[in-house]
Amino acid sequence: MSDVLVTLPAEMRGELKEPMGPIFTDAERLLDAAGDPLVAVGDVVTYHLERAGVLPDVAVVDGLTKREEVADDVAEGVARLGGETREVRVENPAGTVSRGLVEALRDAISDPEPTLLVVEGEEDLVTLPAIVAAPLGASVVYGQPDEGMVLADVTDESKAEMRDLLSRMEGDSDALFEILDAA
């Protein structure tokens, strides 16, 4: 059981299309601008960081890109990280944020050991709770389909914006914030 906390309503989908920061096509440039800790959301983003020689503090992957299985080279790059990180498997259905995902994300961000969160389902919404959970000064990197990698800086403003989005989703956002705030 995935124990879904919140679900993205159809009428909010458009709000998540705009990038939450600058878009980079070069991993090295992105890394020059990134804060610490670094949270990577998505297989392709994680692959590009791994290719640039960087082990993200937290990487969240689901084996998919644009709802299709990732290419073999991407899967192999992500698998290489598995040998260098603590690996945690969680369930998270598409279009939702589950209790297991939020708890694992909170624990991974506070753990000094790099963590690979492998999601059964989809990680498409994890950027929102990741920004809420990460400390000020951190960076959350995620993919913008067909454009590049978005660098979202964790600031008081970005945390407030993500809390607002999450609170307007269907479900129990209070329970979600309780988990994230327990870090």
Q: Say if residue 62 carries a ligand binding annotation.
A: yes
What φ, ψ does residue 28 adopt, rounded to 5°? Answer: -60, -45
Q: How far apart are CA 16 and CA 30, in angstroms?
A: 21
The DSSP line for 81-113 is HHTTSEEEEEEE-TTEEEHHHHHHHHHHHH-SS
Q: Say if residue 43 carries a ligand binding annotation.
A: yes
Q: Name the residue among 180, 40, 57, 61 with its Cα closest to residue 117.
A: 61
List, in order, residues 6 or more apart from 147 with CB less than 8 Å away.
19, 23, 25
Q: How far apart are CA 183 and CA 175, in angstroms?
A: 14
Q: Say if residue 44 carries a ligand binding annotation.
A: yes
Q: Say if residue 153 carries a ligand binding annotation.
A: no
| 59, 140 Cβ separation under 8 angstroms | no
| 44, 71 Cβ separation under 8 angstroms | no
Residues flagged as binding site for GTP: 43-45, 62, 123, 146
Residues in the annotated binding site: 43-45, 62, 123, 146
